[in-house]
């Protein structure tokens, strides 16, 4: 075996190992262990085990469900994945993009009273970038959210 | 022969012209992006961060592509210039990856509500950054040029393949980071600024890689001269 052909063999071997690694990443079990957030359905499917454990929950803010108390900085809304819906309670002002219908990920614990107590509210933006429609001002929706409770 | 690769090291003046063009393109594209696009429906003028964060990420990916090509060509041809090209590209890739993370963090705080979260996109990007630091650390630890080139080619290939995982992470796993935008999800009002800024970043990328490649060639030249001197002194002693 010449040094050249041996080198090529080592190179080919290395390439196969790397490709197998990628195949495993793609189709192997690692995807199931890398769950950044649960959906309301998945959390509820845990039954008793769902309560009081720190977890991330993701979904959409159900339109018409947002209750914001500007004095107490207390925010309540329903989080839905289209099948199941959970009540989320969060304290502190939400990020400025927060509005009805937008995607959010909340960190906190699900309590036995049936309320998810969030300690961290994150807004998940879509991949769409559009100027406001004629007559609409940017971030108007957030302002109406604040205005509603004050008036 | 150390003298033989002096002509291959291009004069500094040509690089400077490219650098001035790249800087002017960057300033022009940023100004256009900042002044000529309307606020976004959801995030208002925070959308403008797109013009730096996204081109930084794209050009970081391109820099890693150069690392990959340089590393594979070195293992195949065993010519020093490919190793030096991969090293130069890795330095630029490190800066651009760090810039992408920093700008993304600045964008994330007002829009998502957090500077950082361990979602798969952010985590895999952080791994990519650490691997690139490892690549450059490895280069400075190994003194023998051939061995340094071989080892860093292997690490360079692994690190740059990681870019595929970073790119696909938003599709493979659940993330806070949104999936890739496309011309159908980005209004033309923003697409022009984004494309021009991407072009400007591309020029900066080429300029930086050429500059660092030239520096790497000069470093090797000095190293080779020092080796030759030591060798000559050794022979004199033996005579």
List, for residues B13-27, the tens digit of each pLDDT value: 778 899 999 999 999
Instruction: Please give the tally of structural domains in chain B.
Output: 1
| Closest Cα in chain B to A25 | B165
- Tens-place pLDDT, residues A60-83: 999 999 999 888 889 999 999 999
Contact at CB, B178 and A124, closer than 8 angstroms: yes
Both A22 and A69 in one domain: the answer is: no
Sequence-separated (6 or more) residues with CB below 8 Å from residue B129:
B94, B97, B98, B101
Q: Is the residue at A91 inside a domain?
A: yes
Q: Which residues of B touch A31 (CB under 8 A)?
A: 172-173
ipTM for the whole predicted complex goes beyond 0.85: no
Contact B113 A121 (CB under 8 A): yes
B199-230 pLDDT tens trace: 999 999 999 999 999 999 998 888 888 888 98
The pLDDT assigned to A134 comes to 75
Q: Are A7 and A50 part of one and the same domain?
A: no
CB contact under 8 A, B50 and A129: yes
CATH number of residue B95's parent domain: 1.20.120
More confident residue, A71 or B11: A71
Domain match, A41 and A91 both: yes
Domain that holds residue A26: 3-32
A147 to chain B nearest CA, in Å?
17
Contacts of A18 in chain B (CB under 8 A): 157-158, 161
B158-169 mean pLDDT: 94
- Mean local confidence (pLDDT), B176-204: 93
Mean pLDDT, rounded, of chain A: 82
For B156, counting Cβ atoms within 10 Å of its Cβ (0-12 exposed, 13-18 middle, 19+ buried), the class is buried
Q: Are residues A120 and A76 in the same domain?
A: yes
User: Shortest Cα distance from A47 to chain B (angstroms)?
Assistant: 22
Are residues A41 and A110 both part of a single domain? yes
Q: How far is CA A42 from CA A49, A123, B100, B163, in A?
A: 11, 20, 33, 31
Is the same domain home to A49 and A112?
yes
Chain B CA closest to residue A14: B154
* Count of structural domains, chain A: 2
Q: Is residue A131 part of a domain?
A: no
Q: Which among B38, B120, B185 is the nearest to A36, CB-wise?
A: B120
Q: Which pLDDT score is estimated for A148? A: 47
């Amino acid at each position: 075996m010449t040094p050249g052909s041996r080198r090529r063999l080592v190179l080919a071997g290395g390439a196969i190992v790397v490709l197998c690694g990628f195949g495993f990443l793609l189709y192997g079990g690692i995807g199931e262990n890398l769950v950044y957030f649960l959906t309301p359905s998945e959390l509820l499917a845990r039954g008793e085990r769902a309560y009081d454990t720190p977890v991330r929950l993701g979904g959409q803010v159900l339109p018409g469900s947002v209750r914001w108390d500007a004095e107490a900085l207390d925010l309540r809304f329903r989080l839905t994945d289209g099948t199941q819906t959970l009540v989320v309670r969060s304290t502190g002002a939400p990020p400025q993009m927060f509005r009805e219908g937008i995607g959010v990920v909340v960190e906190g614990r699900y309590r036995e009273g049936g309320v998810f107590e969030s300690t961290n509210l994150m807004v998940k933006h879509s991949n769409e970038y559009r100027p406001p429609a004629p007559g609409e001002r940017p971030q108007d929706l957030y302002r109406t959210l604040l205005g509603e409770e004050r008036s | 022969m150390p003298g033989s690769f002096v002509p291959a090291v291009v004069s500094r003046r040509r690089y400077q012209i490219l650098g001035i063009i790249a800087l002017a393109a960057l300033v022009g594209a940023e100004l256009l992006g900042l002044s000529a696009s309307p606020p976004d429906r959801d995030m208002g003028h925070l959308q403008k961060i797109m013009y730096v964060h996204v081109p930084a990420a794209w050009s970081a990916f391109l820099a890693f592509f150069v690392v990959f090509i340089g590393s594979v060509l070195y293992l195949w041809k065993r010519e020093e210039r490919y190793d030096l090209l991969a090293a130069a590209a890795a330095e630029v890739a490190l800066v651009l990856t760090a810039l992408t993370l920093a700008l993304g963090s600045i964008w994330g705080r007002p829009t998502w509500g957090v500077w950082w979260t361990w979602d798969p996109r952010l985590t895999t990007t952080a791994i990519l950054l650490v691997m690139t630091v490892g690549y450059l650390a490895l280069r400075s630890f190994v003194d023998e040029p051939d061995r340094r080139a071989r080892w860093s080619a292997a690490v360079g290939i692994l690190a740059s393949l990681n870019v595929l995982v970073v790119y696909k992470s938003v599709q493979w796993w659940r993330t806070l980071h949104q999936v890739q935008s496309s011309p159908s999800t980005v209004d033309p009002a923003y697409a022009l600024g984004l494309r021009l800024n991407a072009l400007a970043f591309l020029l900066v990328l080429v300029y930086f890689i050429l500059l660092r490649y030239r520096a790497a060639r000069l470093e090797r030249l000095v190293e080779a001269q020092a080796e030759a001197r030591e060798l000559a002194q050794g022979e004199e002693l033996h005579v």
